[in-house]
Amino acid sequence: MKITINNNIFEAQENDTVLDVARRNDIYIPTLCYHVKTGQTAKCRACVVDVEGMRGMQTSCNLKVRDGMNVHTDTKEVQEAQKMVVDLMLASGYHNCLACERSGTCELQDACYHLGIEKSTYKDAPTGRKDESSEFIVIDFDKCIKCGRCVNICNNRVVNEVLGFGYRGKETEIMCDDDVAMGLSTCVQCGECVQICPTGALTDKKSRGKGRDAQFEKVDTTCPYCGTGCQLTLHVDKAKNKVVRVTGRDEWPNNGMLCVKGRYGFEFHASPKRLQYPLIKKNGKHEQATWDEALDLITEKIKTTVGKYGPDVFSALGSGRITNENNYAIQKFTRAVVKTNNIDHCARTCHAPTVAGLAHAFGSGAATNSVDEILETDLIFVIGSNMTEAHPVVSYYVKQAVKNGSRMIVCDPRRVDIAHWANLYVPLKVGTDVPFLNGLINEIIQNNWHNEAFMKNNTENPEDLKEWIKEYPVEKASEICGVPVEQMKQVAKLLGTAEKVSVIYCLGITEHTTGTDNVKTIANLQMVLGHLGKRGCGVNPLRGQNNVQGACDMGALPNVYHNYISVKDEKTKEKIEKHWGVSGLSLKEGYKLPTMLHKATTGDTKILFCVGDNTVQTEPNMAKTIQEVKALEFLVVIDIFENATTDFADVILPDVCFNEDFGTYSNLDRRVHLLRKAVNPPGEAKPTWWIMNELGKRLGVDLKFTSAEATWEDMRATGTIMGGITYERIQHKGLQWPCPTVTHPGTPILHTNGKFTRGKGLFSHTQYRSQAEMPDKEYPFVLSTGRRLWHYHTGTQTRNSIGLENIFPEELLEISPVDAARMHIKSGDMVKATSRRGEITVKAWVTERSPEGVVWCTFHFREAHANILTNDAYDNVTETPEYKACAIRIEKVSEGVETVSRGFRQARP
């Protein structure tokens, strides 16, 4: 259809608003409350226009076009009306741009500029009221125009449900919870309200006074925290070589949304504690060295040791934290130069069971569907995921879906915050996932809720499953997992009768001695229900680190090259040898991470390369890990900070971090994203690919790593599933593998039309095995571990950034009110937690999140570290440790003061 605006005719679509058409054609109409994300509210009335045949002025943001409509935006009347609205808005507070953070990006300032308003005709009414109580966000009430964008976005998009409008008339204002200071409210500081605010009412505290927006260079890149792979824009002060602000990019997977770490945890890159020069241990002390000295020493050591004992005494660790390119570089170096397959990385400690379990069942060990599809699902089944803390942006989508009518079941021994939004919360006992899920499958089949056609046509062994699943009647399962029979039946019915089910799980499933079995059982469940290969369905593991998917994709694994090409296949070996220009690649599968370390004590591992892996703190049973690391003959650590592992290193090499080089990350839905260089690295820090290239040269192999892109291209030449992904194609938007050719559009959903990567799906017979260390009289508590919203891993990034540490300064051991009352422990008291492997002294936090008999803490704090306690018992397939369950005892040490624990939802009765 066609409409006329200011006497010009424009093309318009059905459902367009007048504002849409005007914006498309560069006709300025001021808008203050309207935002594409928060929708039409027609509240501020700044967007009024005149439409022939309609009485009075019309708000263009919610006025649907009609064919032949004749609109005026530039008549004197319209301009006067718009001016009046904006003028009154100026008078509602105190809008002075002189020292305002938002100046230059302020939409109210823009409106005044376009309408020619120099100053308000009315009297200003400044109150001077500001809320500066929160760590990262400042509310300036005088600059608020009550547009309601922040209220909308807080409640409907990030669904943190904190902001609201309080009071009325002239006194109306934005309030947090029941009008408490933001710093004391349940606000989780995601900063989405700051990003959407049209004026200077909500601004970032960090960038205050650091400069005007226009003087910063904007660099689009990818978040270096969890596996969601959020797209962000760094606002960089080039002169100071520093990031000043971070904003979310309106691109998949995050659509502008970020969490507190992604938005405010960036200063680590400019920390004075960064490693800047190579260090060599001399007489027990690390001393600064030149790159030549350090690299020559490493070369010499490799030459002599490997020459004498063979290549298998060398082991290397890639990382889920570093780029694809750097992971590829370290695996190629290990395989092509040293000629061993002893390469592994930290997926071993988290999602290795996912890779193994899903590859076994489906043929591909990654998430089957995409993050955005969560919004289209009917039933979300969350098991073993504390997503509001570990994957906040994914949780926004889940909460949005629930808000829009999807149902959700949350299964977790702890009452994690996402349970607050669930239709059904199912507290099962720690480590009983297999019987729980098998009980559900049994109940589903008994009631004929399974998808018979899918099982018959698309799986290999449906009859076997139907037979052995009879071992798990729901009553028996209920007895093991502690969930009442009625509730199990309820869950089974919800699962069995839903139209689309998306299973989302995380480390609560994998970090058990039965990790791989747990994953296989989830795969069984979805194959029984037939919810695979369709939009809004699937098995969706939430990968923990920014690039742990990529580290797997790049072959930092002992059994596969990049793109999951098996090391045992003679033919592929030849192909890769030819491309790499080397010979004698090993056909023998390498050691897995725990084996590498274990073999140090027997003298079979002599050299270890750790790239971005704080091994000492991330492996279970720290005392044992330290012994193993000490037993190494030569330890090289490539990292950005000193940490517990560098203490033992013979050579430390300074790495670059996420914004100091180009590269790519693969996120949790297999999307490859680009990273861009924004600042220069500190001192002489170098990317891992450069280090590997230099070492290769010294050892007589040209690895062809001349830049990050060259490294990627080298991978791509033999890459199968990622062969079609080039830097050029992902400049603006990531691509999801499999993407075999440069014209392939990427694959958002795996296993479509019931065709699995391996052909037909495979059911696995899984059996209940109890956790390795059950609580007993001496050690009566089960300790489970995890991650907090405010911190990340061993804290190297979050504890070197400003603010996060202020919000959450120390470790807290979560304990149930029942246990606490029995032991006379209150929040803030110091307690000693002891396992068979060690002890820590830590502050207690009495919370209903913990069920009776279960306590919980994290591995973020070196001072009170969970891994001193955790059990080095492993999954028998993947050697993933059982971080989620070990036995400990607790004693009260002294009285103490409660730390404010903010941002947590109280359990609803």
Partner 1 sequence: MKFSEEKLKKVNEIIARYPDGKQKSALIPILHIAQEENNGWLDVTTMDHVAIMLNILPIEVYEVATFYSMFNLKPVGKHVFEVCRTGPCMLNGSDDIIQYIKDKLGINEGETTSDGLFTLKPAECLGACGYAPMMQLGKHYREHLTKEKVDLIIDECRRNAAKNN
Query: Using CB under 8 A, which of 124, 132, 161, 633 touches partner 1?
Result: 161
Provide the token pair at 796: 């190297």
Give the shortest CB-50-to-partner 1 separation in angstroms.
34
Give the shortest CB-256-to-partner 1 separation in angstroms.
22
Is 56 a binding residue for partner 1 by CB under 8 A? The answer is no
Residue range at the interface with partner 1 (CB under 8 A); choices 172-180, 436-444, 597-605, 797-805: 172-180
Give the shortest CB-402-to-partner 1 separation in angstroms.
13
Q: Which residue, 158 or 366, is less far from partner 1 as judged by CB?
A: 158
Give the shortest CB-573-to-partner 1 separation in angstroms.
60
Give the shortest CB-177-to-partner 1 separation in angstroms.
7
Give the shortest CB-609-to-partner 1 separation in angstroms.
52
Residue range at the interface with partner 1 (CB under 8 A); choices 155-163, 560-568, 652-660, 824-832: 155-163
Site for partner 1 in 177-206 (CB under 8 A): 177-179
Strand order in the sheet with 539-541: 424-426, 407-411, 379-383, 501-505, 539-541
Which residue is listed with tokens 């020619």?
116
Give the shortest CB-193-to-partner 1 separation in angstroms.
13
Give the shortest CB-151-to-partner 1 separation in angstroms.
8
Give the shortest CB-676-to-partner 1 separation in angstroms.
39
Q: Which residue, 164 or 740, is less far from partner 1 as judged by CB?
A: 164
Q: Which residue, 129 or 456, is less far from partner 1 as judged by CB?
A: 129
Residues 749 and 533 sit within 8 Å (Cβ to Cβ): yes
Q: Which residue, 197 or 656, is less far from partner 1 as judged by CB?
A: 197
State residue 217 phi and psi, 5-degree precision: -85, 135
Q: Which residue, 680 or 906, is less far from partner 1 as judged by CB?
A: 906
Residue range at the interface with partner 1 (CB under 8 A); choices 74-82, 174-182, 227-235, 869-877: 174-182
Q: Which residue, 154 or 701, is less far from partner 1 as judged by CB?
A: 154
Residue range at the interface with partner 1 (CB under 8 A); choices 175-183, 412-420, 528-536, 585-593: 175-183
Q: Which residue, 197 or 888, is less far from partner 1 as judged by CB?
A: 197
State residue 203 phi and psi, 5-degree precision: -135, 165
Give the shortest CB-128-to-partner 1 separation in angstroms.
21
Site for partner 1 in 723-762 (CB under 8 A): none
Residue range at the interface with partner 1 (CB under 8 A); choices 43-51, 171-179, 637-645, 837-845: 171-179
Site for partner 1 in 105-134 (CB under 8 A): none
Nearest CA to 231 among 658, 710, 550, 549?
A: 658
Query: Using CB under 8 A, which of 55, 170, 308, 908 touches partner 1?
Result: 908
Per DSSP bridges, beta strands 70-72 and 2-5 are parallel
Nearest CA to 528 among 478, 472, 466?
A: 466
E strand or H helix at 424, and its extent? strand 424-426
Q: Which residue, 667 or 847, is less far from partner 1 as judged by CB?
A: 847
Is 848 a binding residue for partner 1 by CB under 8 A? The answer is no
Distance (Å) of CA 809 to CA 105, 469, 791, 793, 806: 34, 48, 10, 14, 5
Angle between helices 352-362 and 515-529 (to 10 degrees): 40
Nearest CA to 669 among 550, 554, 764?
A: 550
Is 175 a binding residue for partner 1 by CB under 8 A? The answer is yes
Is 900 a binding residue for partner 1 by CB under 8 A? The answer is no
Query: Using CB under 8 A, which of 76, 123, 168, 308 touches partner 1?
Result: 168
Give the shortest CB-179-to-partner 1 separation in angstroms.
7
Query: Using CB under 8 A, which of 12, 150, 163, 679 touches partner 1?
Result: 163
Which residue is listed with tokens 């609560």?
508
Query: Using CB under 8 A, which of 22, 162, 260, 322 touches partner 1?
Result: 162
Is 165 a binding residue for partner 1 by CB under 8 A? The answer is yes
Residue range at the interface with partner 1 (CB under 8 A); choices 173-181, 500-508, 742-750, 754-762: 173-181
Site for partner 1 in 333-372 (CB under 8 A): none
Give the shortest CB-908-to-partner 1 separation in angstroms.
6
Which residue is listed with tokens 């030819």?
578
Q: Which residue, 70 or 156, is less far from partner 1 as judged by CB?
A: 156
Q: Which residue, 417 or 819, is less far from partner 1 as judged by CB?
A: 417
782 burial class (0-12, 13-18, 19+ CB within 10 angstroms)? Answer: buried
Is 824 a binding residue for partner 1 by CB under 8 A? The answer is no
Residues 906 and 876 sit within 8 Å (Cβ to Cβ): no
Give the shortest CB-488-to-partner 1 separation in angstroms.
25
140 burial class (0-12, 13-18, 19+ CB within 10 angstroms)? Answer: buried
Q: Which residue, 729 or 849, is less far from partner 1 as judged by CB?
A: 849
Residue range at the interface with partner 1 (CB under 8 A); choices 176-184, 315-323, 407-415, 562-570: 176-184
Other C-beta atoms closer than 10 Å to the C-beta of 404 total 10
Q: Cis ω on the peptide bond leading into residue 654 (within 30° of 0)? A: no
Is 166 a binding residue for partner 1 by CB under 8 A? The answer is yes
Cα–Cα distance for residue pair 685/668, rounded to 1 Å? 29
| 226 secondary structure, DSSP code | S
Give the shortest CB-494-to-partner 1 separation in angstroms.
19
Per DSSP bridges, beta strands 379-383 and 501-505 are parallel
Give the shortest CB-167-to-partner 1 separation in angstroms.
5
Residues 515 and 507 sit within 8 Å (Cβ to Cβ): no
Q: What is the 3 state secondary structure string of 874-895?
A: ECCCCCCEECCCEEEEEEEEEC
Torsion angle, alpha carbons of 524, 526, 529, 530, to 10: -110
Question: Strand locations in 536-691, DSSP E?
Answer: 539-541, 607-611, 634-639, 651-654, 663-666, 671-675
Give the shortest CB-906-to-partner 1 separation in angstroms.
8
Cα–Cα distance for residue pair 124/87, rounded to 1 Å? 11
E strand or H helix at 235, and its extent? strand 231-237
Q: Which residue, 76 or 908, is less far from partner 1 as judged by CB?
A: 908
Question: By CB under 8 A, how many residues form the interface with partner 1?
Answer: 15
Give the shortest CB-161-to-partner 1 separation in angstroms.
5
Residue range at the interface with partner 1 (CB under 8 A); choices 104-112, 159-167, 320-328, 341-349: 159-167
Give the shortest CB-544-to-partner 1 separation in angstroms.
30
Cα–Cα distance for residue pair 335/586, rounded to 1 Å? 7
Query: Using CB under 8 A, which of 164, 473, 809, 828 touches partner 1?
Result: 164
Query: Using CB under 8 A, which of 62, 70, 155, 572 touches partner 1?
Result: 155
Residues 831 and 892 sit within 8 Å (Cβ to Cβ): yes
Residues 689 and 677 sit within 8 Å (Cβ to Cβ): no
**Residue 860 is which amino acid?**
H
Is 167 a binding residue for partner 1 by CB under 8 A? The answer is yes
Residue range at the interface with partner 1 (CB under 8 A); choices 111-119, 161-169, 213-221, 292-300: 161-169
Q: Which residue, 423 or 726, is less far from partner 1 as judged by CB?
A: 423
Cα–Cα distance for residue pair 493/477, rounded to 1 Å? 16
Provide the token pair at 116: 């020619």
Contacts 24+ apart (CB under 8 A), 111-117: 111/30, 111/32, 111/46, 111/82, 111/86, 112/86, 114/28, 114/30, 115/30, 115/79, 115/82, 115/83, 115/86, 116/83, 117/83, 117/86, 117/87, 117/90
Helices then strands, each counted (H, E), the chain? 27, 36
Residues lying near partner 1 in the complex (CB under 8 A): 155, 161-168, 175, 177-179, 908-909
